[in-house]
Amino acid sequence: MQSIRWILLPLIVLAPALACAPPPPAPAAPPPGLLQGALVDLSHEYSADAIFWPTAETFRLDVVASGMTPEGYYYAANNFATSEHGGTHLDAPIHFARGRWTVEQIPIERLVGGAVVVDVSAACAAQPDYQVSVADLTAWEQANGPIDEGAIVLIRTDYSRRWPDADTYLGTSARGEAAVPLLHFPGLHPDAAHWLAETRRVKAVGIDTASIDYGQSSHFESHRILYERNVPGFENLTNLDRLPARGATIVALPMKIKGGSGAPLRAIAVVPPHGSATGR
């Protein structure tokens, strides 16, 4: 107690002098950094309502404890279970390419970087089986400049607005193998996947539908083209309408599952103050 009083005393004496002193200089602008700008959440919530592939086990949360303990404090804990490929998730390249990266092997610099947002929402509203073409990508470049090597390319269909209604998001709410041929939603055409990987050497490709390949795909060519080249995928993203065509930085970090072919993904975007938002 004695020592605290000795510390406080000089501060109290100094206080009137400080009150008369000129105001401190305004803080310098923070140095440019990764997190400078508005943050946008690109992940859906994981719950029993989250949309999963018709053949994949859905997300489950089991309450282990929730309430007051005999000792008089509150305590909550749960177990959860999920398949890798459901809700907002990462596809590791090994998902469709033997010998390519598993989740924990993907260098984190491949999951963080500048984003290019290709808005094909108008075409997708008119055609649920729409496949994003090379022409869509070159039209984007005409309007916005070249897609840089190492860009993270995000395909905006606005299907995320249909979440979590499986009938309109996937084309069916049926479950099991028999539901797979009933899937209808937009995706990336294999020629466009090849063009992005080979001519633009992009880091990663994401989309706000359930799959990089469109719903009617049976051979998943775009998955195979990208993952063979160790280009990871992000699926079931949301809020892409809040991002500018270029200028946002993406941080897309999955649960680090050793040997995983995919994993739940918490993805965010940092939108600089002067980005030209394409949004709502």
CA dist 273 and 280 (Å) reads 17
- Helix or strand run (H / E) with residue 89: strand 89-91
| Residue number, 124 or 237, with CB nearest to Zn ion | 237
Closest CB 51 distance from Zn ion, rounded Å: 12
| Residue number, 250 or 270, with CB nearest to Zn ion | 250
| Residue number, 91 or 241, with CB nearest to Zn ion | 91
Residues at the contact surface with Zn ion, assessed by CB under 5 A: 85, 91, 235, 262
- Helix or strand run (H / E) with residue 166: helix 166-169
Give the DSSP letter of residue 202.
-
Note whether 137 and 147 are within 8 A (CB). yes
Give the DSSP letter of residue 277.
B
Closest CB 126 distance from Zn ion, rounded Å: 26
Residue number, nearest CB to Zn ion: 85
* Cα Rg of the chain (Å, integer): 24
Note whether 173 and 118 are within 8 A (CB). no
| Residue number, 85 or 156, with CB nearest to Zn ion | 85
| Residue number, 44 or 85, with CB nearest to Zn ion | 85
Closest CB 142 distance from Zn ion, rounded Å: 31
- Give buried/exposed letters for 216-246 (b at 16+ CB in 10 A, else e): bbeebbbbbbbbebbbbbbbbbbbbbbbbbb
Closest CB 8 distance from Zn ion, rounded Å: 60
